[in-house]
Every structure is written in structure tokens, then in C-alpha cells.
Structure 1
Amino acid sequence: MRYRFLLIILLWLFADVYFFNAVTTLTSKPVWHWLYWSADILIAAGIILIIFGRKAGDRTKLTSWLMALMLLSSVPKIFGSPVLLLEDMTRLFTGFGPRSVLVSELALAVAVIPFFALLFGLTRGRHHYQVHKHTLYFDDLPEAFDGFTLTQLSDIHSGSFTDANGVNKGVDLVNAQNSDVILFTGDLVNNRASEMAPWISTFARLKAKMGKFSVLGNHDYGDYIKWDNEALKAGNLIALKKVHQEIGFRLLLDEAIKLERDGQTITLIGVENWGKGGFHKYGDLDKAIQNVDDSDIKILMSHDPSHWEAVTLQHLKHIHLTLSGHTHGMQFGIELFGFKWSPIKYVYKQWAGLYKQSNRYLYVNRGFGFLGLKGRVGIWPEITVITLKKSPL
């Protein structure tokens, strides 16, 4: 991870210096040169402020702004630099004369496209909700559940919200799906239960015919901030569990329940957060599933998708569908015409969308909210709707 970060920094610096060639070709006025480097100056100043004694809350806000500024500064230049590189490859054989004004203008035009795409994502993308619909077929699905619909939400991160109209738009879109159940796969807050206080009435409006169910995510435990004592941290988790009740969600803590329709059932399982690497492994799938029949259709809610390959796929009991979130798709990437890419793919093998192995499905929700970066670029906030169907004979 350290070397990847270093590679990103080097790529950014190279694009910065290299793209400056196009600027100097188009104008010799110092004011434009100063404007070009102003983003780097602001970023350097922000890093200095973070290092030297800002309050924790101020550092978090400043980091968010720096992330946005770094993207606006670096990504357009990275996109535009290959145009200059192609010209330099030809100049190797023709002699290094002055750079072409036309090529520099073309490089600038190419850079403008991602710049405005980033600007949209950073200003409007955080509430640019997308509904992803999928139909999954199972041989052993009870007839009563043929056509059963579930809406999955994940990673609300209420502590990041500032726009009530934007959040309400997302809640209204969830209700418009008219699903049988709503399943929330963790990270209701960033750190503290109190972050949900302004949003309880908003999320209490969520409606589903057969109920709303939830699990905890890694941010819900309060592990990422300093508490004065362990009692306060424990009290925060108790308060957060009560918030789930207040907004009408049945929180599943390493347990399973049956959903019944016309005398037939499927089993819904929820585990506490289980993450790879340095993330806590609170969840206990064996405990959650110990009284579940092998023959049941099983839907598992587990916040971190790494749990799927590490534990769920190998489990003796066949779990038909796992629902996860956690990655946010890094809130940055490209999804166009079936192509899907984000830097998060180098950390999580399953990072967004639908996956299948050994006739077992995993769906990774891209997240309803946002964290860190105050926006989303290319990887939009998601509402997932999955329809269960009985396989045709």
C-alpha cells in the first residue's frame, strides 16, 4: 500500500511538471503560470496545517477539501499529458523544436473534459443516486417468494450529510421501489451515534411491506476516534443500536430470522462486521447460522465484502446471496458501457456490483452516503433492488 501511494504521488508530480509545458507554450504571462501552480501551493499549505496542530474536526474537514483539490489538480493533467507525450515521441525523430501550439491546445481541451466531470462529481455527485436492478434465479426458491424484491442500502454515513433536500431525494427514491424488504448493510454513522440525530425522522420514512433489517459496519463501533474512557465508547454503541430501532430497523447481531410468506419461508442472516487485514473481526457466521436448516434459502448481510471469499464461500452451509458494502467504490472511478474501474479494485477483489462463485452470489453496494471525499466522481451513490425468481424448469 505504501508503494502504491508513492507511485500515485510521483505520477501526480510528473503530470504537474509535464503538463506545465503546454501552459508555457500557450502563454508566457506570469499570472497564468502562478494560477497553474496555485492548487499545488494550496495543497502544500493544507498539508502543513494538518501536520501542525489543527483540531481533529478541523483536520477532517481540511483533508476532505485537500482530497477534492488534489483530484481537480491532478486528474485533468494526467488525462491531457498523453497528448503531449505522443508529440514528444515524434519529436525524438524530427528534432526537439518548439512545442506545437495546436497540440498544446488539444492537450488542454482533453484535460477540460475530466475537469468538469470532477467538478460535477464534487458538487452534485454526492446525491446523484442511481438505482441498480438485478434478477437472481434459484432452483430451491419457495414458490411464495417467486418475485420477492429487496432493496439494499449501505454506508449511509450520516455524519457527512449537510444537504437535507439531497438526502430526502434518496429516501424518496428508495420508497419508490416499493420492495418487500429493505436491508441495510452497515455504517450508519462515521463515528458517533449522535450524528444520526438530525436524520432520524428522515430515515424513519423508509417503508417496506415485510420490514426493514440492518447490520453494523466498521464505522459504527466508534473505533476510529479517541474516547475519554471505554464506558463512553460502549455507551455510544448502545445508543447507536437504539437509533436503529428508532428508524424502524431490526438490527441483526450474529443471528438469523425467518421471513414468512403464504406459509413458506426464507432465512435472513446478519453478522457483525468482519473485515480483512487490520479491520476488526467482530462477526461470527457460525453463531449466526447454527440453527438454520441446510435446505433454507439464505440471504446474508455482512458489511465487508472480503468476508465472502474468506469465510462465506467455504462455509458448509450453502449461503445463496451475500449483501455487502464498505468499499464505496472509493467514490471515484469510471463506469461506462459495461466498463468498470476504480483504484479500490487493487485493495478489494469484489468492490462493486454482482459477483458469483460456486452458485453463490455476492452483491457489493456502492454506498448511499460518502466519507472523506465530499462527493462522488463516476461511482455514484447506489440504491440496489434485487428480485428473487424461481429458476424455470
Structure 2
Amino acid sequence: MQFRKKHTAKFFTVVTHAFLMFFLAEVVFSIFLLLGDVVGFFVALSAKFSGSLFYFERNYYWVGFCLTMLLLTIVIFGYGIVKGKYAYRVIKHTLYFDDLPQNFDGFTITQISDVHAGSFTKPKEVKKGIDLINKQKSDLFVFTGDLVNNVATEIEPYINIFSNIRADYGKYSILGNHDYGDYAKWPNPEAKIANFARLKENHAALGFRLLLDEHITLTRGDEKIILAGIENWGVGFGERGDLKKALHGTDATDFKILLSHDPSHWDAETKNFPSNIALTLAGHTHGMQFGIEAFGIKWSPVKYRYKHWAGIKEENNRYLNINRGFGFLGFSGRIGIWPEITVITLRKK
């Protein structure tokens, strides 16, 4: 029964993605063909049907161009589905702070987010991403939520891969909106509670210290910084996290790094919070797994939901980084917005 369900789901995924790919290709083809017809109409009209040979030649070449764009769309989507979703990129940022303790000048952090382990189908490709994480040799590793799609067991085939991540100052994690089991159908409330307990156990099996509205202190010599993590807080995705609780016992002037899955929390609370939070690390958006970041252009449809949806933002002398996600969800691919491993270097001004 389980075998049948697995292969039925796989067949459904293949069919729906093939349909999506060819449908979008047809849309692109139709748009360019329509433009050609409009241009051709006005050319013919202005010439009062003289030079009709030119008109038909123009249409011939335009149809050829449209067919080329159709094939190009199919190739791009095919690459995104087959290769793009595992095409891990390392994106590096160096951030400068007035109040960074001197001993932490040059301290490095590797961040990933949104693993969504239930979507993976190629463990060897995932391992390449983990090897790339370790290649950065960062001091600290953090994961900013959405370990699974719905069920705690989704990560279990990959525990032996993710548990190989190494960082001298530890590995820390938080929860995302998908980690609570809210999007799955449970036979009873007890099953959902048991799943959540198992998810937290799996964080421990990965070697991740899960931060649930709490903080830890990292020390170098006689100086310290605070690393805090909250439960998911996002506009429209559940406001569970308690920032005051997470920072209880810290001083307002302590240098703080916050892990908060949903970037809407930054605008709603973090950037103006009375206690100084120097850096917030988030994820959640995936960059919608589709867009363009090239030639000075940065665009994704997700911008219509989140004004700032990827990378670094600075406001009120505080920084926010939104990771584009390590995994994928829904659309089984990535086009133009590649899976991200962020490396942040802290520097003192």
C-alpha cells in the first residue's frame, strides 16, 4: 500500500510538472505570436498592402522566433526541474557593526533555511549541498526553519547526511510554519502532538540545538554575543513566537543575533524592538523558486507578497538576511532563484 502511494504521488508530480512546463511554453509562444500579428497588421495597413511579400516573410521569421522561444522555455523549465533545485549557491556577505565585540571580529556564520526534506528525491545531490556547507568552515551554523513539509519522518532518511555538518561554535535551529504539522490531516490531536515531539527529537538527532523562544551565549575570550531563536511568527502564518521571552535575561546593549523564520516578523516587531538586535536571520520566501537575479535585475513574483524577499536589508542600523532556501516545495524545481547557502562574516567598524 505504501509502495503504491509513493509511486502514485511520483506519477502525479511528473504529470503536473510536465503540464505546467508545456502550458507555460504555450503561453510564451502565444504572447510572441500575438505581438507578431499586431505588428504585422499595422505594417501591412501602413503600406496599404503594398510590399505584401515583405509582410509574409516577416511573419515567417516571427513564427520561427516564437517557436524558438517556446523551445527555450521548455529547456529552462526542464533544467529547473531536473538540475536547478539542487544547484546550490554560496552567497557571501560581510557586515560591519559598531558594537560588535572585538574578539568576534571576523566571526563567520553559515545559514540555510527551508530544507523541506519531504520534497527531496536525490540523497546524493543533497549530500553535495552539505559538503559545500562544510567547505565554508564557518564558526557557527544556523538553520532558520521548515525542516519538513508536513510530517516529522520526512527528514529521517537524511539524518545521516545533515548530521555531518560541522561548526566549532555549534549548530542551532528554529521552527518554521511547516514544522508544526498544521498542513497535514491527523486522525486525532494526540497524533499531531506525537509528530511534533518526534520532529524536535529529529532536530537533536541532526545535532541541532533547537531554540524555542530562548537564547544562548557564545563566548570568545572574555567577550560574548547572544544568539536567540523564536518559534514561528509570521503575518498570516501563525504568531507563536515570543521575542520578549527569548531575550529575557539579556541586556539591551548586548550584541544579539536573532533566528526568526518569517521575514514579516522583522517589519512587525524586530527592527524597532527596544533591545538592540543587530542581525536577524530569516527564510520562508524561497524567492518563490522562480525569478531573475542577473544583469542588475532582481525580480520574483514573491515581491508582491514580501517587499524584501531575499538577501540583506539594513534599517535602523540593524540587518536582516533572508535566505532563499535550501530545498523546494510545491513546484519541484528552481528557475533563476537557486538553493542558497549563506555565509556571513561579522566585522567591527
Normalising by structure 1, what TM-score? 0.81
SS at match of 1:282: coil
- Determine the structure 2 residue equivalent to 1:365: 323
In the alignment, structure 1 residue 276 sits paired with structure 2 residue 235: yes
Q: Report the number of matched residues.
A: 337
Identity %: 51
- Determine the structure 1 residue equivalent to 2:42: 92
CA distance in 2 between partners of 1:268 and 1:378 (Å):
32
In the alignment, structure 1 residue 188 sits paired with structure 2 residue 147: yes
2:36/2:59 contact within 8 Å kept? no
- Determine the structure 2 residue equivalent to 1:207: 166
2:74 pairs, out of 104, 108, 115, with 115
In the alignment, structure 1 residue 131 sits paired with structure 2 residue 81: no
2:175 pairs, out of 211, 216, 233, with 216
- Determine the structure 1 residue equivalent to 2:305: 347
Displacement after TM superposition at 1:77 (Å): 3.7
- Determine the structure 1 residue equivalent to 2:52: none
Q: Deviations over 1:315-340 (max 9, x none)?
A: 11121111111111111111112311
Displacement after TM superposition at 1:60 (Å): 8.7
- Determine the structure 1 residue equivalent to 2:114: 155
- Determine the structure 2 residue equivalent to 1:31: none
2:151/2:184 contact within 8 Å kept? no
CA distance in 1 between partners of 2:279 and 2:153 (Å):
32
Alpha carbons of structure 1 residues 61 and 214: separation in structure 2 relative to 1, 3 Å: farther
SS at match of 2:118: helix
SS at match of 2:20: helix
Bigger drift between 77-86 and 365-374 goes to 77-86
2:222 pairs, out of 263, 270, 274, with 263
Structure 1: which 4+ aligned runs deviate by more than 4 Å?
A: 55-61, 96-99
1:270/1:288 contact within 8 Å kept? yes
In the alignment, structure 1 residue 313 sits paired with structure 2 residue 271: yes
CA distance in 2 between partners of 1:159 and 1:303 (Å):
18
Displacement after TM superposition at 1:263 (Å): 1.4
1:76/1:112 contact within 8 Å kept? no
CA distance in 1 between partners of 2:29 and 2:252 (Å):
52
CA distance in 1 between partners of 2:241 and 2:315 (Å):
22
1:333/1:377 contact within 8 Å kept? yes
2:29/2:67 contact within 8 Å kept? no
1:203 aligned partner, one-letter code: F
In the alignment, structure 1 residue 300 sits paired with structure 2 residue 258: yes
1:81 pairs, out of 31, 40, 48, with 31
Bigger drift between 110-119 and 375-384 goes to 110-119
Displacement after TM superposition at 1:70 (Å): 1.4
RMSD value, Cα: 2.2
1:156/1:367 contact within 8 Å kept? yes
Unaligned segments of structure 1, at least 5 residues: 1-54
- Determine the structure 2 residue equivalent to 1:11: none
SS at match of 1:155: coil
Displacement after TM superposition at 1:111 (Å): 3.1
CA distance in 2 between partners of 1:315 and 1:295 (Å):
12
In the alignment, structure 1 residue 285 sits paired with structure 2 residue 221: no
SS at match of 2:195: helix
In the alignment, structure 1 residue 232 sits paired with structure 2 residue 191: yes
1:242 aligned partner, one-letter code: E
2:19 pairs, out of 62, 69, 80, with 69
Normalising by structure 2, what TM-score? 0.91
Displacement after TM superposition at 1:67 (Å): 4.4
CA distance in 2 between partners of 1:255 and 1:68 (Å):
45
CA distance in 1 between partners of 2:7 and 2:233 (Å):
27
Displacement after TM superposition at 1:108 (Å): 1.6
Displacement after TM superposition at 1:360 (Å): 1.1
CA distance in 2 between partners of 1:68 and 1:291 (Å):
54
Displacement after TM superposition at 1:116 (Å): 1.3
CA distance in 2 between partners of 1:57 and 1:261 (Å):
51
